[in-house]
Structure 1
Amino acid sequence: MRFGLFGTGPWAHLAHAPGLAAHSGVEFVGVWGRDPDKAAALAGEYGVRAYPTIDGLIASVDAIAVALPPDVQAPIALAAARAGKHLLLDKPVAFTVAAADEIAAAVAERHLSSAVFFTRRFVPQLQEFLEQARKTGGWVEARVDHVGSIYEEGNPFGASPWRRERGGLWDVGPHALALVLPVLGPVTEVTAMVGPRDMTHLLLRHASDAISRLTLSVDVPPAAARQEAVFAGKSGVLAVPALQWEPVMAFGRMLDELLAAANGGPQSQLDVRFGAGVTAILAAAEEAATTGRTIRLAA
């Protein structure tokens, strides 16, 4: 499958470009970036072409991979889907429900394949853990703490304007939701509150009537940083295992799922429809935090 890469930032260098270049089922065709010099430099590292226009790269490939801010990613993804191209997107898919839903609809209408890079979810051991937890059932609550800082020296994501503006809700919130949704099911009610230093607290009611609590931040003191997730119910308390993962390997497994789906296999559980659902919850949480109201969603 011929792939074009959109984006030249840290994540494009760490995961997307090396992942595309390493996969035996992929022909890495070219790169487009908002900075032509950076696009030329990244393309040169992999011996591919730097494209001057978005439409030119879309027209040259079968599929696109995107490593760009959500508001830049969304219109490119929609244009590619309307042109009949498969999609590998970053999370969140978009900042608005309308934009995310429009991409998902374009993919469905054209029977395309898609996947969203929820990183750890492409680690096989975590996939197996969550599937077993889903089968076990009987969970009444979940707690996820995804709290850290991207502003420590040496962190390449600290300079990201959209992360500074949108904070942990939109940056690490998708990862937290990708843990609880497959086990507890769709979300029907959202309550949220934001404290100092981007500390965002979400209380979610799921269609199963279980409640999940998410604590999210990308700007806490180092001593407060933590990543923990547990489910609790009739089977006791079950902690999500802390697993080592590597970006290029996780990206490669996402490519495996997309290629299999495009060849007639099942669609990825983490497709753009799932990504649009995550955007809807994040948007509801933002509204809830701003208004102080509980926001209800269609299950």
Structure 2
Amino acid sequence: MTRTAPEPVRVGLIGAGPWARDMHAPMLAAGPQTNLTAVWARRPEAAAELAAAHGAAAAAGIDELLDSCEAVAFAVPPAVQATLAVRAARAGKALLLDKPLGPDLPAAIAVAEAVAEAGVVSQMVLTKRYHPATRAFLDRARDLEVTGARSCYLHGAFLGGEMATGWRLTEGALLDLGPHLLDLLDTAVGPIASVRATGDPRRWVELVCAHTNGAVSQASLSGSVRLPRARTRVELFGAEEELVWDSAGAGHQESWPLLREEFAAAVRSGVPGPLDAARGLRLQELIAMAKRDLAG
């Protein structure tokens, strides 16, 4: 008996900036698991241009976008995402959420609670977690007894260009890059119990994490250093040979098929994966620990 493939998930996109243009829109429009139905953005002309490029409609407002889709993807600043994600969840829409979940911990809690109360599927766009090389690294890490770990996420995007605007320049690397490394360290080494921080997130911030299994890990974060390419690296150490993951040569586009496939499968089954809003909230809790150190 021939099985009929599930209908593509109809996704509306909120946002029309660089990340929406370079990642969300082409990924969602490529299918076959998803169909980009509509785009809404604060700038109508940007939404219309992006929608036209991918065969979608430009929504005149949030209500029109919600009426056109069964899931909503977000490519907007954290404060905007936190507000509109609550609204979309209450409307019964599945959510494809960017990191961080919100601009601060109370906002992230509000999103996670709205998702739980509405019973909708949610998934975080922690792009690196969907790359085959990252999956292979984490599979190997499960068999290791890690004593300590070092990691970094460094680039110069805050020095100029499309990403050197708004909340990224105000909040810096901790809120923008921190979720990626904290997620990887928490998964590869073991659950993080506490985070200490020093430095300036707008220049360079250093994190030290204590894990529940007794391991200690370190993370260096900066978006304001001149490098030929972004550098993301995790090194695990213990009684066995070191295990290293490096993002060199691992482009975002290689993550899109699995990200899209897993989101669509979660929406159709009604069962979210491990990278849901609750995971995003946990990462925001860890960031809040670090921010308390920096504020002191």
TM-score, normalised by the number of residues in structure 2: 0.90
Counterpart residue number, 2:163: 157
Residue 294 of structure 1 corresponds to which residue in structure 2?
A: none
How does 1:1-299 map onto structure 2 within 5 Å? 1-134=9-142, 136-151=143-158, 155-158=161-164, 160-195=165-200, 198-222=203-227, 226-242=231-247, 244-264=249-269, 267-291=272-296
Asked if 2 retains the 8 angstrom alpha-carbon contact of 1:18 and 1:248, the reply is no
* Structure 1 spans left out of the alignment, 5+ residues: 292-299
* Whole-Å separation in 2 of the counterparts to 1:246 and 1:143: 22
Q: How much has 1:128 moved relative to structure 2?
A: 2.3
Write the distance in 1 (CA, Å) between the matches of 2:201 and 2:111: 34
Looking at structure 1, the residues matched to 202 and 171 of structure 2 have their Cα atoms a distance apart, in angstroms, of: 12
4+ residue segments displaced more than 6 Å: none
Q: Is the CA contact 1:197–1:220 (under 8 Å) kept in the aligned structure 2?
A: no
Aligned counterparts of 1:21 and 1:126: Cα–Cα separation in 2: 24
Shift of the alpha carbon at 1:161?
Answer: 1.0
* 8 Å CA contact 1:30, 1:49 repeated in 2: yes
Change (3 A) 1:150 1:182: same
> SS where residue 145 of structure 1 aligns?
strand
Distance in 2 between residues matched to 1:195 and 1:17, nearest whole Å = 33
Normalised to the residue count of structure 1, the TM-score between the two structures is 0.89
Letter in 2 for 1:276: L
CA contact (8 A) 1:169 1:282 kept: yes
Q: Secondary structure at the match of 1:228?
A: strand
Name whichever of 271-280 and 3-12 sits farther off. 271-280
* Residues 120 and 221 (structure 1), Cα distance of their counterparts in 2 relative to 1, 3 Å cut: same
What is the CA distance between 1:253 and its match in structure 2?
Answer: 1.7
Contact 1:16 1:248 in 2 (8 A): no
* Count of residue correspondences: 288
Task: Report if aligned partners of 2:121, 2:271 keep a CA contact under 8 Å in 1.
Answer: no
3-state DSSP class of the match of 2:224?
coil
> Residue 191 of structure 2 contacts residue 211 of structure 2 at CA under 8 Å; is this kept in 1?
yes
